[in-house]
C-alpha cells in the first residue's frame, strides 16, 4: 500500500471550513483514498473515499489532485463535534484491510 | 440497523485468564476484522475473515485466536491474557474489495493486570 503523510495537528474555528491535507505521492492507479476519523475513545468512523474524481457526501468533500499524489478532505462548516483524529488511508486493489497511521488531530475551537 | 456491535464494552482480566470478545454485524458483510489500538498509536490488524469459516492473520496475530462460525459473528479469543494485551479492541466489517468501506464497532476496552 502507498504511504501517506499528514500534518500531526491542525486548528480550525467553529463554522469555518476545515481543509485537511494528505500526501500520497507513491499511490498506484488502482488504489483508493479513504478518510476516517476517530473521536476520542470511539470507533473509527468512515467519512468518504475516492479513486480519481472528487467526491462529496453529507459529511465532507474529497478533492484529489489530477496526478493523484495528494488529496484534501474538506469539512465545509466545522463544529466542535468535528474535533477528532482524521486518518487518510490508501487502499490497494484486491487487498481489503486498512493500515492506519497516526493521522491529523483536528481541534475545532469556538 | 445496529451496524457493528461489540460485547463486552469493558473487561478487566488477571494475567493468565482467558476470554472471548464477540463482534456482530447486521449488514450481511462478507469480510470482518479485528484491530487493536494502543495509547497514542494507530490501529493494527490482528486477524481478519473473508467469509464464514475462514480466518487469516493480520499484522499482530500472536496471542490471539479467532473464529467465524456464522457470517454475522466474529469472535476474538485470548487463551492466556498478558499485560501486553491491554488495549482497546475494535471490530469492523465490509463488503469485499477496496472500493467498499469498513464500518467499525464501538470498541472493547480490555485491561490485563
Interchain pair A41, B107: CB under 8 A = yes
Interchain pair B98, A87: CB under 8 A = no
The Cα of A32 is separated from the nearest Cα of chain B by a number of Å equal to 7
How many CB pairs below 8 A link A and B?
62
Task: Return mean pLDDT, chain B.
Answer: 94
Collect all residues of chain A within an 8 Å Cβ-Cβ radius of residue B99. 32, 49, 51
One pLDDT digit (tens) per residue for chain A, 110 residues: 668 999 999 999 999 999 999 999 988 888 899 999 999 889 999 999 999 999 999 999 999 999 999 999 999 999 999 999 999 999 876 556 777 888 999 999 99
Q: Per residue in B84-107, pLDDT tens?
A: 999 999 999 999 888 889 999 999
Interchain pair A51, B99: CB under 8 A = yes
Chain A residues with CB within 8 Å of chain B CB = 31-32, 34, 41-46, 49, 51, 87, 91-103
Q: Per residue in B38-53, pLDDT tens?
A: 987 778 999 999 999 9
CB B18 within 8 A of CB B81: yes
- What pLDDT score does A82 carry? 97
In the predicted model, what is the mean pLDDT of residues B60-74? 96
Q: What angle do CA A65, B44, A55 make, to 5 degrees?
A: 25
Closest residue in A to B4 (Cα–Cα): A43
Strands, E assignment, A1-110: 9-13, 18-23, 32-38, 45-50, 55-56, 61-64, 70-75, 84-91, 104-109
Amino acid at each position: 500500500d502507498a504511504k501517506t503523510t499528514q500534518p500531526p495537528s491542525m486548528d480550525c474555528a467553529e463554522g469555518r471550513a476545515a481543509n485537511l491535507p494528505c500526501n500520497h505521492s507513491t499511490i498506484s492507479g488502482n488504489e483508493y483514498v479513504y478518510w476516517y476519523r476517530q473521536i476520542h475513545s470511539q470507533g473509527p468512523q468512515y467519512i468518504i473515499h475516492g479513486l480519481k474524481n472528487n467526491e462529496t457526501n453529507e459529511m465532507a468533500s474529497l478533492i484529489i489532485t489530477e496526478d493523484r499524489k495528494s488529496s484534501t478532505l474538506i469539512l465545509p462548516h466545522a463544529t466542535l463535534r468535528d474535533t477528532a483524529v482524521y486518518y487518510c488511508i490508501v487502499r490497494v486493489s484486491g487487498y481489503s484491510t486498512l493500515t492506519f497511521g497516526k493521522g491529523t488531530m483536528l481541534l475545532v475551537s469556538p | 440497523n445496529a451496524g457493528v456491535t461489540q460485547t463486552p464494552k469493558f473487561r478487566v482480566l488477571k494475567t493468565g485468564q482467558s476470554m472471548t470478545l464477540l463482534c456482530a454485524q447486521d449488514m450481511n458483510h462478507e469480510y470482518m476484522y479485528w484491530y487493536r489500538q494502543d495509547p497514542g498509536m494507530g490501529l493494527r490488524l490482528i486477524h481478519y475473515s473473508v467469509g464464514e469459516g475462514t480466518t487469516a492473520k493480520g499484522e499482530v496475530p500472536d496471542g490471539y485466536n479467532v473464529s467465524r462460525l456464522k457470517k454475522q459473528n466474529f469472535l476474538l479469543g485470548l487463551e492466556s491474557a498478558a499485560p501486553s494485551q491491554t488495549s482497546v479492541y475494535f471490530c469492523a466489517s465490509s463488503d469485499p474489495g477496496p472500493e467498499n468501506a469498513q464500518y467499525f464497532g464501538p470498541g472493547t476496552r480490555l485491561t490485563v493486570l
